[in-house]
Amino acid sequence: MRRLRMVEKALERACGDQARVLMRKSATATPPGTSEAVAAVQTRCYVDTGPIVERVCAKYAGVGWIGKNTCIINQKVGSWLFLGVILTSLELAPDLPAADRCGSCTRCIDACPTDALVAPYQLDSNKCISYLTIEKRGEIPQDLRSGMGQQVFGCDICQDVCPWNRKAPPTTASELQPRPELVNPALEWLAQINPEEVRRVLKGSPIRRAKRSGLRRNAVIAMGNSGEPRFLPQLEAWADAEDPVLAESANWAASRIRRPSSKSEDS
């Protein structure tokens, strides 16, 4: 079932732009009963679009501590939360930073399949599956492909294993529910997705950030990591594709399926 972490999964990437819209509404809304003096205060609000590192501000605002997986962690809701920023000229009493409660736990570091967490609180973003499957363009380094497993868009393994997320409450907001058609979609469909389907099915979804070429590349690598021979005919056909990245990835994936015990193709 860790099959496509694609994901429109829970509050992770599933909500897409709806999360930003909802957060912006919350950040810009003027509370009932607000005095004119307060309403006249200068403010700037944004969600995931500004130059400030939100998690650092959240740490010093008492929202939570920055965990060993580099995510902000709240004692009650874990790391499954969104951060919005309000810059204001209003004088406010500062909060105390939250205490670091990771202790001796290293589950996130131990669980990372590509060893992207090189040390506590230190992330090598070039090895992170989220970066590789969403932002990386072109070929993915071969030594990192097997660690990607069948993650096609993003990765939350370091959050999944965090003990603070065990009792994290699920959202009840209708805008943030996962899209059924994007929960564990078939690899074959993803790898063959056409431009019209990208526009129609992925409308308003952050999955479009990977672009069609990236989604197809990721799906092909996931096919190779699945070890399922049923993918071989299609992979062999794509080995001669005009897209050089797709062709190279398909060659790698087909070789991996033919020799599942061999690690030579990862070196």
Residues labelled as active-site residues: 48
DSSP 117: E
Contacts of 30 (CB under 8 A, 6+ apart): 39
CA 3 to chain centre: 15
The number of helices, as runs of H, and strands, as runs of E, in the chain is 12, 6
Query: H/E element holding 127?
Result: none
Rounded Cα–Cα distance for residues 85 and 96 (Å):
18
Rounded Cα–Cα distance for residues 9 and 18 (Å):
13
Q: Reduce the DSSP state of residue 216 to 3 states and report it.
A: helix
Q: Using N-to-C axis directions, what is the helix angle for 244-258 and 211-226, rounded to 10°?
A: 10
Q: Are strands 43-46 and 85-88 parallel, antiparallel or unpaired?
A: antiparallel
Helical ranges in 6-99 per DSSP H = 17-28, 36-39, 54-60
Contacts of 162 (CB under 8 A, 6+ apart): 67, 69, 71, 73, 78, 79, 107, 108
Q: Reduce the DSSP state of residue 37 to 3 states and report it.
A: helix
Contact 65, 98 (CB under 8 A): yes
Nearest to 236 by CA among 217, 245, 249, 219: 249
